[in-house]
Amino acid sequence: MPQKIKLPENLLIASPLPSGKSGYTWTFASLLGHMLRLAQQMFGARDHSYTILGIEFTAKDHPNLWHPRNGKDIIIQLTQRCLEQPQRACFQMSHEVVHLLSPTGRKQTNVLDEGLASYFSIYYMTHVIGNPNWRYNIASYDAAMTLVKVLLEIDPDAVKTLRAEQPTIPLIGEELILKHYPQVTQPVAAALAAQFER
C-alpha cells in the first residue's frame, strides 16, 4: 500500500518542511513525479520517447494532455479550479498521468486507456490522499473503469503483461486481451478495446 500524503493548501509554492525535517511541501511538480512512479509500478514503464514538460492550467472545463507543435512533448492541462483546490488537482492529475505512460499524440483512445486512468485516479485519491469520496460525474468513465476492474481482478499485473507484447495501451486490442485472459470473455475484451466515447 502506498504512503499517504498530506496536501498543503497551495501546490504552487514549495515551502520548507518544519524544523528538523529536510525537504519541501508537496507541489504540482513533486506530485506529478510521485504519481508517475506509482503508475509505472502498477502498469509498467512509460514511453521515454515523449518528454513531459509539466503542468499548466486551462479555461476549458476538463483536463487533458496537450502536445505542443504536435511533437513528442506533452503538457498536462488542469482546470483553473485546481489552482485553489489541491484535491481536485490530484484527482485530475492522477487521471492524466496514466495517459503519460503510452501516449499516441492523438485525442482518440480506447476504453482500456480511459478506464485505467479512471481506476488509477480513484485508487490514488483513496489510498494516497485518503479521500475515497471522489467520483466521476460522466457515466462513460465509470463504465470504462468497471470494465478495467474485471481485468485487474483476474490479474492485478494484467496491464504489464499486455504491455510486454503491445506497449501502447490505446493499441491493445481484443485479440491480445483474450490471448492472455480468455476468462475476461469476448464481450468484455471487445468493450475494453473499443474506442472510448466521452
Q: Going residue by residue through the chain (198 aa), what tens digit of pLDDT does each one get?
A: 788 998 999 999 999 998 778 899 999 999 999 999 999 999 999 999 999 999 999 999 999 999 988 689 999 999 999 999 999 999 999 999 999 999 988 878 999 999 999 999 999 999 999 999 999 999 999 999 999 999 999 999 999 999 999 999 999 999 999 999 999 999 999 999 999 998
52 phi, psi to nearest 5 deg: -85, 115
User: What is the rounded CA–CA span in Å between residue 111 and residue 198?
Assistant: 10
What is residue 20's predicted lDDT score, i.e. its pLDDT? 77
* Domain map (residue ranges) of the chain: 28-193
Between strands 64-66 and 51-58, the pairing is: unpaired
Reduce the DSSP state of residue 143 to 3 states and report it: helix
User: What is the rounded CA–CA span in Å between residue 180 and residue 164?
Assistant: 11
Mean pLDDT over the full length of the chain: 95
Digit-coded pLDDT (tens) for 96-148: 999 999 998 887 899 999 999 999 999 999 999 999 999 999 999 999 999 99
What is residue 1's predicted lDDT score, i.e. its pLDDT? 76
Between strands 64-66 and 73-79, the pairing is: antiparallel
Q: Which residue has the cell 513531459?
A: 52
The maximal CA–CA distance of the chain, rounded, in angstroms, is 57
Q: What is the dihedral of CA 168, 124, 40, 66, to 10 degrees?
A: 50
What is residue 137's predicted lDDT score, i.e. its pLDDT? 92
